Structure 1
Amino acid sequence: MKQEDTIDFHIKRTWQSIAKMYNEEASKYDATMATGYVLLNIDKEEGTPSTSLGPKMGMEATSLSRILKNMEERGLIERRKNPIDGRSVLVHLTDLGLEKRADAKQAVVRFNEAIFSAVPEQKLEIFFEVISKVNELITNRKIYLKEV
């Protein structure tokens, strides 16, 4: 089987293209795709527990920790004790973080609008079905089952 005939080749190549595109756009705002992704996953009003951000975004704790530290140093976020559970920390967006979040959201909206206008709705429905099935098979560990 040639590499170009595999599903993972096309998913990876497409994701790398998307990441490059978002990083190029984010660089115009002195940011990265990862920073934008974090900004979009923090609740604007209530903040978000730092411990739930990693799993929510599929990101390792060490990578997320580094990104959050950088974002805090840049004044995009602030960490506050959780008023309900003082043992945990909530990540809140600052005013600057809210501005940068709006920029990140606009980039995502523009990308999606471009795809939705270029690809017929029926094909997008099939795409979403297929990609959901791929994710389901992986999540439920149905790919590499050991036979007993």
Structure 2
Amino acid sequence: MKDKTIDYVLRATWQAVSRMYNEEAAKYGATMATGFVLLSIDKDKGTPSTTLGPKMGMEATSLTRTLKSMEEKGLIIRKRNPFDGRGVLIYLTDLGKEKRELSKNTVLKFNETIKQHVSQEKLKHFMEVSDAINELIQDKNIFNQTDLINDETNH
């Protein structure tokens, strides 16, 4: 079998994790995205809706759909931001706080299970490699204009 590319391993692993979380969330009539939003909202002070998308790496349209669904299920409420009349703060309802705790326990169980099966040293290396990949992407050091120009002039 050929060597797998780094992006293939990342994608396949994330798809497996995502599928696992969605299967678990489905038992409670939720989705992984819902759980992620519940965990991203400050349970005491609420969270500005504009910071949720970037915080979660979620597109605005997907987030809007998810928030609408969560509001319909009674998990969140939206209130005008008292400090910025144009903005909206998202707050968890009592049901939302209850489901947030469920999501938190699910994530902690996943983490604990991985820690039981993967050494601390390997996890440290995994985090370092992940940080390096994110940094390279953030700094646009993988596909940048000078590389493209050099490639075109060399061919």
* TM-score, normalised by the number of residues in structure 2: 0.92
Superposed displacement of residue 105, structure 1 = 0.4
Instruction: Please give the secondary structure, in 2, of the residue aligned with 1:88.
Output: strand
CA radius of gyration, larger in: 2
Instruction: Please give the secondary structure, in 2, of the residue aligned with 1:79.
Output: strand
Write the deviation string for residues 85-106 of structure 1: whole angstroms up to 9, x where unpaired. Answer: 2221000000000000001001
Instruction: Say how many residue pairs are matched.
Output: 146
Instruction: Please give the secondary structure, in 1, of the residue aligned with 2:142.
Output: coil
Structure 1, unmatched stretches of 5+, are none
* TM-score, normalised by the number of residues in structure 1: 0.96
**Identity fraction in percent:** 59
Write the deviation string for residues 70-90 of structure 1: whole angstroms up to 9, x where unpaired. Answer: 000110000001122222100
Superposed displacement of residue 145, structure 1 = 1.8
Q: State the match for 1:47 in structure 2.
A: 46
Structure 2, unmatched stretches of 5+, are 150-155
Instruction: Please give the secondary structure, in 2, of the residue aligned with 1:87.
Output: strand
* Structure 1 stretches of at least 4 aligned residues deviating more than 4 Å after TM superposition: none
Q: State the match for 2:124 in structure 1.
A: 125
Instruction: Please give the secondary structure, in 1, of the residue aligned with 2:84.
Output: coil
